[in-house]
């Protein structure tokens, strides 16, 4: 809320996700990740004061719904249609592309070539994360993306939904060979802001456009993507 042009209090937010959502959000203050660092720059460019609140992902959902946080970073493709259309939130312009895939071990990848392959089955997920269709499968919640990759290697689960870059990063860090099945979601990260702050949205969107025109996204990608060795990704079925 603004009072006579002065912000009354910082906007509270959480962007650390599981703390293992590399390269988007790392939980490390000095190098917080592409999306987290971009949002910090956006809000500084817009002249909006913010305060990060460290929370587990599940509590972030609760705090957003209970009006204890003012914004979060999310892809609408992670949300159900009902969640996307909730009147208490508005979305900024797009920040960064993001996609999730079905991730499994190489000897099982043919089984998960279709997104429908997980319907009715047990799927590894991150506790507190949004999944647009989690009514169609049984969630097996783990604390982080790192723990999901470890669970695959130990055969505690057969398939998981993980962002492509976090999955690649942790497979390389842990030296665990994984394979990518079908696309689960593909979209863009946005700032999801409480509607009571919607008067700030034009300033936020202007700041996003300004920073993109200055090449900030490419600079952040150069900074965070260098540890990841890339390999081919499947196309959506």
Residue 7 reports pLDDT greater than 70: no
Can you give the pLDDT at residue 4? 37
Above pLDDT 70, what percent of the chain?
94
Q: Does residue 32 share a domain with residue 18?
A: yes
Same domain, 28 and 54: yes
Examine the domain organization and report whether 122 and 202 are in the same domain: no
- Based on the fold, state whether residues 17 and 52 are members of the same structural domain: yes
Q: Are residues 174 and 65 in the same domain?
A: no
Give pLDDT tens digits for 147-202: 999 999 999 999 999 999 999 999 999 999 999 999 999 999 999 999 999 999 99
Length of the chain: 237
In tens, the pLDDT along 41-72 reads 999 999 999 999 887 777 777 788 788 899 99
User: Which token pair is 61?
Assistant: 């959902």
Which helix (H) or strand (E) segment holds residue 37: the answer is helix 34-46
CATH number, domain of 144, equals 3.40.190.10
- In this structure, the answer to whether residues 127 and 213 fall within a common structural domain is no
Would you say residue 162 lies in a domain?
yes
- Number of structural domains (the chain) is 2
pLDDT given at position 8: 67
Q: 81: burial class by Cβ within 10 Å (0-12, 13-18, 19+)? A: exposed
**Does 3 have pLDDT greater than 50?**
no
For residues 81 and 10, membership in a common domain is answered with: yes
Mean pLDDT over 83-109 rounds to 96
């Amino acid at each position: 809320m603004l009072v006579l042009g002065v912000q009354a209090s910082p906007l509270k937010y959480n962007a650390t996700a599981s703390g293992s959502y590399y390269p988007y959000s790392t939980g490390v203050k000095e190098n917080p990740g592409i999306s987290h660092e971009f949002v910090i720059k956006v809000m500084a460019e817009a002249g909006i004061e913010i305060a990060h609140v460290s929370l587990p992902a599940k509590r972030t959902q609760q705090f957003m719904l209970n009006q204890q946080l003012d914004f979060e970073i999310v892809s609408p493709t992670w949300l159900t249609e009902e969640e996307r259309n909730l009147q208490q939130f508005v979305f900024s312009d797009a920040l960064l592309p993001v996609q999730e895939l079905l991730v499994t071990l190489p000897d099982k990848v043919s089984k998960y070539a279709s997104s429908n392959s997980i319907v009715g089955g047990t799927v590894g997920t991150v506790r507190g994360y949004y999944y647009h269709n989690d009514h169609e499968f049984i969630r097996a919640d783990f604390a982080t993306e790192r723990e999901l990759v470890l669970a695959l290697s130990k055969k505690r689960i057969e398939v998981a939904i993980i962002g492509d870059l976090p999955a690649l990063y942790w497979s390389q860090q842990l030296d665990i060979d994984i394979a990518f099945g079908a696309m689960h979601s593909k979209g863009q990260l946005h700032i999801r802001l409480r509607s009571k702050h919607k008067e700030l949205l034009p300033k936020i969107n202007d700041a996003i456009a300004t920073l993109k025109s200055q090449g900030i996204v490419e600079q952040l990608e150069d900074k965070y993507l260098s540890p990841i060795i890339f390999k081919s990704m499947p196309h959506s079925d």
